[in-house]
Amino acid sequence: MSFQVFGLPVSRGVAIGRAVLVASSRIDVAHYFIDEADAEQEIERLRAARDAVSDELSTLQRDLPADAPPELSALLDVHMMLLRDDALIVATKQWVRERHYNAEWALSAQLEVLARQFDEMEDDYLRERKADLEQVVERLLRAMGRGPSTSYAPAPGVSPRDFAGEDPLVLVANDIAPADMLQFKRSVFTGFVTDVGGKTSHTAIVARSMDIPAVVGAREASHLIRQDDWVVIDGDSGVVVVDPSPIVLEEYRFRQRQSGLERDRLSRLRHTPAVTLDGERVELQANIELPVDAPAALEAGAVGVGLFRSEFLFMNRGGELPGEEEQFEAYRDAVEAMKGLPVTIRTVDIGADKPLDRLSVHELRHEYTMNPALGLRAIRWSLSEPNMFRQQLRAILRAAALGKVRLLIPMVAHLGEVRQVLDALARAKQQLHEAGKPHGDVEVGAMIEVPAAALMLPTLLKHFDFVSIGTNDLIQYTLAIDRADEAVSHLYDPWHPAVLSLIARAIADARSAGKHVGVCGEMAGDPAFTDLLLAMGLRSFSMHPSRIASIKQRILRADTRLLFPHLDEVLSSDDPEAASERLFNRKQQQAAE
Residues placed in the known binding site for Mg(2+): 449, 473
503 sits in which H/E element: helix 497-512
Q: What percent of the residues of the chain are helix, what percent strand, and what percent coil, each to the nearest 5? A: 55, 15, 35
* Known binding positions for phosphoenolpyruvate: 309, 346, 472-473, 483
Q: Which SS3 state, helix, strand or coil, does residue 48 take?
A: helix
Strand-pairing partners, residue 286, are: 305, 543
Q: Is 202 a catalytic residue?
A: yes
Rounded to whole angstroms, the Cα distance separating 133 from 173 reads: 20
Q: Is 271 a catalytic residue?
A: no
Which residue among 31, 100, 366, 520 is the active-site one? 520
* Known binding positions: 309, 346, 449, 472-473, 483
Tell me if 292 sits within 8 A of 572, measured CB to CB. Answer: no
Let me know how long the chain is: 593
Which residue among 79, 100, 202, 566 is the active-site one? 202
CA distances from 435 to 327, 429, 439 (A): 18, 10, 11
Tell me if 286 sits within 8 A of 542, measured CB to CB. Answer: yes
Residue 258 burial by Cβ neighbours in a 10 Å radius (0-12, 13-18, 19+):
exposed
Rounded to whole angstroms, the Cα distance separating 525 from 564 reads: 20
Count CB-CB contacts under 10 A for residue 339. Answer: 10
DSSP summary character for residue 489: G
592 sits in which H/E element: helix 576-592
Residue 312 burial by Cβ neighbours in a 10 Å radius (0-12, 13-18, 19+):
buried
DSSP code per residue over 200-266:
TSHHHHHHHHHTS-EEE--TTHHHHS-TT-EEEEETTTTEEEES--HHHHHHHHHHHHHHHHHHHHH
Hey, which residues are catalytic here?
Answer: 202, 520
